[in-house]
Amino acid sequence: MHARQAPTREMATEDLVTWFGPEHPAVSGLRLQLTLDGEQVSAAEIELGYRHRGLEKLAERGWEQAAAIASQVDPRAPHAGAAAYARAVEALAKAELSGRAARLRVAILELERAASHLAWLANLARLLEARPAARLAGHLYRRASTALALLAGAPGAQRWIVPGGVAADAPADLLRALSGVLDALRGALDGLRMDRLAERRLNGLALVDGGRALEMGAAGPVLRATGVPHDLRTSSEVYRALGFEPVLGSGGDARARYSLHVAEVGQALTLAQRALTDLPRGAVAEKVPAIGVAGLARGHAEGPRGELSATVLTDGGERPLRVAFRGPSLAHAGLLSELLVGSMLADVPLAVASLDLSMEEAER
């Protein structure tokens, strides 16, 4: 009855352009400029610069600083950064790890991965308003963090992986704590599973095509959820000895990422448990001096969000000439501008969260 007022020509409406982030309850650390046609996103631009700390420049002040800064590259995965840096220095000095130290590193990296994934699950479930699952994941995250703290100390003081090995041996009660977490996880798997309504929200959300993901330099769970078997750990002998097989998802959407994360939490905890049982004897660390060797070396670690690498260039002096870090988050953020087009505004926080961006790591 009111439609008579409508002109018979096409309906020309205006787009609503809005900022989304950096201070948004759902998206923090990056700013999106969303162009909304109705409630549907028709263009998304990413703006960075809210988490830049100039870490790489700071790392040039000395080896001690560089080692400390390596564990600050991704604040949510300090040990992965430290491991990448340690491997770079070890490659410079051509040092070998003892079997015990290698196994201990596996344990801490896997425990860190489990904790990070659980935090991701809790966050995504919270955004989905799947409150029981969010609470469960949060609870498990706290338990995993406690176990992590047993090994490496309180968060913020986590310099445990050092060039040449690890800073201290694993405490005796770590294994018990770990199996406790694992048991709790087994009991909670049902609760972590998404109900049908939540699954419908995640289905097809932030769909990443495998080929495109490779092209853009994606890594970690984002890439593996598309079915691409890319995992640094497959090339590691220690991991192979522990029976590691990468978990793969299919579909590449947020739902695939969710189930991949759930599976990887279990896998990570099991790997950590295996790594800590029957530890080979030996020293946990050797002294690996960074001063006196010149050259360029690179070290990698598979962090919770994907491959983290550290590149060290030195002339053998008291401070590195250049330390560079690289992680997958920048590539993942780059995917966003394609992923968000066509999705509803209500799905934007979910889509952003499902990529598990660490803007600290992306901007360094």
Partner 1 sequence: MSDNYAVLATFLLAGVALAMLVLALARKQEAPKAAEPFESGSPSEHKTWVQFRVRYFLIALVFVAFDMEMVYMFPWAVVFKRVGLVAFMDMFVFIAVLAVAIAYAWKEGAFEWER
Partner 2 sequence: MDPGAALVGLFGTLAVLVVATWLAAVLDGLGRALAVHQPVGLAALAAAPLARLGRLVRRADVIPANADGGLLWSAPVMAVAVVLLLAGVVPLGPGLVIADLNIGLFYVIVLLAPFVVALMNAGWGANAKYGVLGAFRAAGHLLAYEVPFGFAAIGAPMAAESLSLVKIVEGQDRLWYGVWQPVGFAIYLVSAAIITYRPPFDLPAADDLGGGVLADVSGPRYLLLRGSMLALWVLVSALGAVLFLGGWLGPLLPGPVWLVLKTAALMLAMSWVGYRLPRLRVDQMLGLSWKVLLPGTFLHIAITGVVILLQTGG
Partner 3 sequence: MVEWLAFVLLAVIAVGGSLGMLLTMSMYRAAIFLMASFVALAGLFILLQADLLAAIQVMMNVGGMLVMLLFMVALMMDPGGEMMWDMKRKMGLPGFSALSMSMPRSPPPAEAARPEDRPRTGGSNTDWTCPMHPEVSAPGPGSCPKCSMDLAPRAALQPEAAPAADTDTDTYACPMHPEVQSSAPGQCPKCGMNLVPREAAQEPSATTYTCPMHPDVQSPTPGKCPKCGMDLVLQAELQAPAPAATTYTCPMHPEVQSSTPGKCPKCSMDLVPQEDPQAVAGPTAYTCPMHPEVRSSTPGKCPKCSMDLVPDESAAPMAGHAGMQHGGEGGMHHGGDGAMPRMSPAAHYKMMVDMAMSTALLPWAIAIGVVSALLLSWVLLRATWPLSPTGPNADDVSVVGELLLSRYMIGFEGAAYLILAGVIGAVLLGKREHRR
Site residues (vs partner 1, CB under 8 A): 1-3, 11-24, 27, 31, 37-40, 342, 344
The stretch near partner 2 (CB under 8 A) out of 98-106, 115-123, 129-137, 298-306 is 129-137
Which residues in 250-309 contact partner 3 (CB under 8 A)?
none
C-beta closer to partner 1: residue 291 or 346: 346
C-beta closer to partner 3: residue 28 or 42: 42
Could you give the CA distance from residue 178 to residue 106 in angstroms, rounded to a whole number?
Answer: 14
- Contact assessment for residue 73 and residue 325, using Cβ atoms and an 8 Å cutoff: yes
Longest CA pairwise span in the chain (Å): 85
Q: Based on the shown chain and the rule CB under 8 A, indicate whether residue 131 belongs to the binding site for partner 2.
A: yes
- Contact pattern for partner 2 over residues 198 through 217, marking x by CB under 8 A: x-xx----------------
C-beta closer to partner 3: residue 7 or 156: 7
C-beta closer to partner 2: residue 200 or 240: 200
Which residues in 2-61 contact partner 3 (CB under 8 A)?
2-3, 5-8, 10-11, 13
Could you give the CA distance from residue 290 to residue 336 in angstroms, rounded to a whole number?
Answer: 39
C-beta closer to partner 3: residue 5 or 237: 5
- Contact assessment for residue 113 and residue 246, using Cβ atoms and an 8 Å cutoff: no
Contact partner, 8, from partner 3, partner 2, partner 1, none, Cβ < 5-8 Å per class: partner 3
- Output phi, psi for 243, to 5 deg: 80, 40
C-beta closer to partner 3: residue 7 or 25: 7
C-beta closer to partner 2: residue 16 or 283: 16
C-beta closer to partner 1: residue 343 or 354: 343
Closest distance to partner 3 from the beta carbon of 36 (Å): 14
C-beta closer to partner 1: residue 302 or 363: 363
User: How crowded is residue 260: how many other Cβ atoms within 10 Å of its Cβ?
Assistant: 23
Q: Based on the shown chain and the rule CB under 8 A, indicate whether residue 348 belongs to the binding site for partner 2.
A: yes
Q: Based on the shown chain and the rule CB under 8 A, indicate whether residue 189 belongs to the binding site for partner 2.
A: no
Could you give the CA distance from residue 92 to residue 312 in angstroms, rounded to a whole number?
Answer: 8
Q: Based on the shown chain and the rule CB under 8 A, indicate whether residue 336 belongs to the binding site for partner 2.
A: no
Closest distance to partner 1 from the beta carbon of 19 (Å): 4
Contact partner, 31, from partner 3, partner 2, partner 1, none, Cβ < 5-8 Å per class: partner 1
Closest distance to partner 3 from the beta carbon of 37 (Å): 10
Q: Based on the shown chain and the rule CB under 8 A, indicate whether residue 110 belongs to the binding site for partner 2.
A: no
**Three state DSSP letters for the chain:** CCHHHCCCCCCCCCCEEEEECCECCCCECCEEEEEEECCEEEEEEEECCCCCCCHHHHHHHCHHHHHHHHCCCCCCCHHHHHHHHHHHHHHHHCCCCCHHHHHHHHHHHHHHHHHHHHHHHHHHHHHHCCHHHHHHHHHHHHHHHHHHHHHHCCCCCCCCEECCEECCCCCCCHHHHHHHHHHHHHHHHHHHCCCHHHHHHHCCCCCCCHHHHHHHCCCHHHHHCCCCCCCHHHHCHHHHHCCCCCCCCCCCCHHHHHHHHHHHHHHHHHHHHHHHCCCCCCCCECCCCCCCCEEEEEEEEEECCEEEEEEEEEECCCCCCEEEEECCHHHHHHHHHHHCCCCEHHHHHHHHHHCCCCHHHHHC
Which residues in 39-58 contact partner 2 (CB under 8 A)?
39
State which of residues 86, 102, 111, 127 lies at the interface with partner 2 (CB under 8 A). 127
Q: Footprint of partner 3 on this chain (CB under 8 A)?
A: 1-3, 5-8, 10-11, 13
Q: Footprint of partner 2 on this chain (CB under 8 A)?
A: 16, 18-19, 24-26, 36, 39, 127-132, 134-135, 195, 197-198, 200-201, 344-349
